[in-house]
């Protein structure tokens, strides 16, 4: 039984004078605030905050949380997002007072535990990536991309190679790649993919010249394929004087199996919330640490954590640094959880994570391909992209209809309509934390949906609190804040 | 415009060529297949305006749907003589009449060689079927 009253906005639920607690009578003489504070410090009226009792607030959030889907409640095969289960052990570790209650303005000497953890995290991420130096500052994967490209731009300026203006990006890339390159001041050039989803080598070579600064590649790519030409691509880019950026969104597939630095990457970012099981969603707080080759280290954001004979310190004396990209030291809470995850698994455990992520995806692919064609073939890495194109042509049932209907059946939707190079794309990533039973249940549900009435599916979901939001209106005339009527 | 008499680019723009005042003028839009694939449209924006020069393959604007933003590419080389700015306020026209009132750009053709790279209706239909 859904309590829709409680899920109104807190401002709508507000009643003047309602409180969560009653204060005892004041036992010292009271004086008005105006007598104690300078005039300009006293507000004319109280801030317009909602006034509510504790049960109002608890019911509000408890009922809202039940309208949500999460990895704690549902299988969540949202491709590219690596919605693996987030072990509660990480939360217990992050909640330790030494982790949760430190303040960034404390002197370094009193923060040694946190600084040691961050220092070790720099070392660990360099090792996993096969690269030399790390900045933990960026607050999300996309900010990591931007930071790394700013680092590349600083390097080219410093070495008098300003004519390197072009960033090559395959057409299967995440949209953040061209956005980051453009924000860092580069010109973006799209490289085509072959029908199998790999970089089209002829198109790549036709666009490679001495003006190329960076080739940004996601490997494994968004189609769930590992580009076997990666070494050749990297060698040719290096020969032309450019660098390789690896979008690390799909690191879950190759942890401990291969390292970006070993196959030619010069820079990369991690998504700790994906690969290392930090919580997703809500817009953050996230983290997007980057790893780079030694020649780029001087340009990394300041500060970095240094180990000295007298302990760990934040090093600011870095004259070539691009400066800060985030206040304080980034979102350390996510990094603490990632550290916990990495240390819990150890090197062998991380390799098994990747192996099981790939095994699960291939098992699901082998079942799903009998329902939906998978244009890129019979084998994948951590995810695959199925197409509802034929079903759309035959019965009018779209990838959107299937995704929406899955919600009724208790599964989160896969990522739909991405990458755009596959028609009616459904990008499925089960992750290593789903059991065979849940993968079988997902397959059976997908099959059942294809047998359902098309009109019924166009109106799905039928059991959620909101069915189909008006996406056009949301994009054209978004309402971003509540205003009193 | 009869879709069967138009020329098509790989990037789904159509071209109609007509004589206007002694010059060849290309009218450019996007095909019904492209409109369908884009799904619900949200914005259209033109980066070129009358008097600008444009080369075949240059972006002349972008169209945004609830799914993605896609560049619009000029299939011909020449001088822009008109841009259908009003389309932004009536995006539904693109769905209702993509080959007529949904036109986007008129270009006075300077170099006819780019026309040779375009497909006829049958070749374009075949390409769409394979996608």
Q: What is the pLDDT of residues A410-452, one digit of tens each?
A: 999 999 998 888 889 999 999 999 999 999 999 999 999 999 9
Q: Do B43 and A475 touch (CB under 8 A)?
A: yes
B2, B35 contact by CB (below 8 A):
no
Given this model, what pLDDT does residue A217 score? Answer: 97
Region A72-88: mean pLDDT is 94
Distance (Å, rounded) from C-alpha A277 to C-alpha A334? Answer: 9
User: Is residue A371 within 8 Å of A443, Cβ to Cβ?
Assistant: yes
Res A310: pLDDT: 95
- Distances in Å between the alpha carbon of A406 and those of A76, A153, A232? 10, 45, 41
Instruction: Provide, rounded to the nearest whole percent, the portion of chain A with pLDDT above 70.
Output: 99
Give the mean pLDDT of A149-178.
96
pLDDT in tens, A324-379: 999 988 889 999 999 999 999 999 999 999 999 999 999 999 999 999 999 988 89
How far apart are the CA of A474 and the nearest CA of chain B, in angstroms?
9
CA–CA separation, A477 vs A409, rounded Å? 31
What's the pLDDT tens digit per position in B62-117?
Answer: 999 988 888 999 999 999 999 999 999 999 999 999 999 999 999 999 988 888 88
Task: Measure A80 CA to nearest chain B CA, in Å.
Answer: 16
Range from A3-12, A165-174, A183-192 carrying the lowest mean pLDDT: A3-12
Does the pLDDT of residue A33 top 70, yes or no? yes
- Chain A residues with CB inside 8 Å of B43's CB? 475-476
Q: Which two tokens stand for residue B21?
A: 């005042």
Q: Cβ(A253)–Cβ(A354) under 8 Å?
A: yes
Total Cβ atoms within 10 A of residue A417 = 21
Angstroms from A423 CA to nearest CA on chain B: 7
Residue A283 has pLDDT above 80, yes or no: no
State the nearest Cα–Cα gap between B18 and chain A, in angstroms: 32
Task: Quote the mean pLDDT of chain A.
Answer: 94
What are A118's two structure tokens? 């961050």
The pLDDT tens digits for A56-77 are 999 999 999 888 899 999 999 9
Give the integer Cα–Cα distance in Å for A159 and A410: 55
d(CA A7, CA A282): 17
Q: Extract the tokens encoding A268.
A: 């990369």
Identity of the residue in B37, B42, B70 whose CB atom sits nearest the CB atom of A475: B42
**Using CB atoms, which residue from A175, A420, A472 is nearest to B40?**
A472
Q: Give tens-digit pLDDT for A100-129.
A: 999 989 999 999 999 999 999 999 999 999
Task: Please compute, for residue A87, the number of CA atoms within 13 A of its CA located in the half-sphere on the CB side.
Answer: 17
Q: Interface pTM (ipTM) of the complex?
A: 0.75
Q: Which residues contact B81 (CB under 8 A, 6 or more apart)?
A: B25, B50, B106, B107, B108
Whole-number Cα distances in Å, A276 to A219, A436, A470: 17, 22, 34
With beta carbons under 8 A apart, name residues in chain B contacting A476.
42-43
Structural contact between residues A206 and A216, judged by C-beta atoms closer than 8 angstroms: no
The length of chain A in residues reads 485
Say if the Cβ atoms of A420 and B67 lie within 8 Å: yes
What domains lie within chain A, and their CATH numbers? 10-66 (no CATH), 90-344 (3.40.640.10), 347-474 (3.90.1150.10)
Q: Do B67 and A175 touch (CB under 8 A)?
A: no
Contact state of B37 with A423 under an 8 Å Cβ cutoff: yes
> What pTM was estimated for this model as a whole?
0.88
The answer, for A420 touching chain B at a CB cutoff of 8 Å, is yes
- Smallest Cβ–Cβ distance between A472 and the set B66, B70, B131 belongs to B66
The domains located in chain B, with CATH, are 3-113 (2.40.50.100)
């Amino acid at each position: 039984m859904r309590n829709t009253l409680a899920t109104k906005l807190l401002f709508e639920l507000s009643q003047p004078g309602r409180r969560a607690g009653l204060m005892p009578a004041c036992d010292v003489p009271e004086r008005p605030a105006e007598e104690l504070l300078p005039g300009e410090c006293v507000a004319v009226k109280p801030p317009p905050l909602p006034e509510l009792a504790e049960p109002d607030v608890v019911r509000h959030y408890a009922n809202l949380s039940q309208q949500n889907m999460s990895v704690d409640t549902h299988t969540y095969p949202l491709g590219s997002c690596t919605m693996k289960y987030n072990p509660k052990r990480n939360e217990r570790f992050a909640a330790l007072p030494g982790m949760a209650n430190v303040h960034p303005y404390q002197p370094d000497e009193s923060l040694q535990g946190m600084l040691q953890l961050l220092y070790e995290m720099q070392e660990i991420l360099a090792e996993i990536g096969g690269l030399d130096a790390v900045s933990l500052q960026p607050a999300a994967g996309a900010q990591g991309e931007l930071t790394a490209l700013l680092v590349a731009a600083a390097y080219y300026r410093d070495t008098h190679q300003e004519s390197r203006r072009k960033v090559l990006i395959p057409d299967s890339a995440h949209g953040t790649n061209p956005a980051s390159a453009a924000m860092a001041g580069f010109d973006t050039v799209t490289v085509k993919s072959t029908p199998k989803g790999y970089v089209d080598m002829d198109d790549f070579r036709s666009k490679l010249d001495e003006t190329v600064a960076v080739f940004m590649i996601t490997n494994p790519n968004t189609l769930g394929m590992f580009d076997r030409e990666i070494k050749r691509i990297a060698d040719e880019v290096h020969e032309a004087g450019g660098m390789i950026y690896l979008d690390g969104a799909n690191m879950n597939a190759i942890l401990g199996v291969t390292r970006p630095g070993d196959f030619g990457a010069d820079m990369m970012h991690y998504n700790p919330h994906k690969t290392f099981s930090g919580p997703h969603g809500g817009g953050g707080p996230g983290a997007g640490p980057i790893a780079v080759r030694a020649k780029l280290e001087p340009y990394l954001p300041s500060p970095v954590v240094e180990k000295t004979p007298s302990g760990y310190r934040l090093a600011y004396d870095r004259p070539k640094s691009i400066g800060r990209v985030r206040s304080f030291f980034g979102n350390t809470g996510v990094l603490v959880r990632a550290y916990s995850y990495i240390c819990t698994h150890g090197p062998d455990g991380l390799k098994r994570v990747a192996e099981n992520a790939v095994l699960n995806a291939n098992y699901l692919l082998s079942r799903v391909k009998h329902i939906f064609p998978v244009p890129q073939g019979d084998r994948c890495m951590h995810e695959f992209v199925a197409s509802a194109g034929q079903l759309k042509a035959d019965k009018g049932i779209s990838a959107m209809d299937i995704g929406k209907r899955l919600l009724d059946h208790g599964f989160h939707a896969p990522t739909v309509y991405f990458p755009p190079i596959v028609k009616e794309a459904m990008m499925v990533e089960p992750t290593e934390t789903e059991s065979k039973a849940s993968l079988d249940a997902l397959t059976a549900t997908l099959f059942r949906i294809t047998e359902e009435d098309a009109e019924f599916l166009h109106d799905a979901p039928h059991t959620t609190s909101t069915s189909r939001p008006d996406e056009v209106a949301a994009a054209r005339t978004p309402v971003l804040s509540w205003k009193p009527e | 415009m009869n879709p069967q008499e138009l020329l098509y680019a790989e990037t789904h723009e159509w071209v109609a060529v007509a004589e206007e005042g002694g010059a060849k003028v290309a009218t450019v839009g996007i095909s019904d297949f492209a409109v369908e694939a884009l799904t619900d449209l949200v914005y259209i924006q033109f980066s070129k305006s009358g008097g600008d020069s444009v080369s075949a393959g240059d972006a002349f604007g972008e169209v945004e749907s609830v799914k993605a933003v896609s560049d619009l590419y000029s299939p011909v080389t020449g001088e822009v003589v008109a841009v259908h700015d009003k389309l932004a306020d009536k995006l539904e026209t693109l769905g209702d009449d993509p080959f007529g009132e949904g036109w986007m750009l008129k270009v006075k053709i300077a170099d006819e060689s780019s026309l040779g790279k375009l497909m006829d209706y049958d070749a374009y239909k075949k390409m769409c079927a394979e996608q």
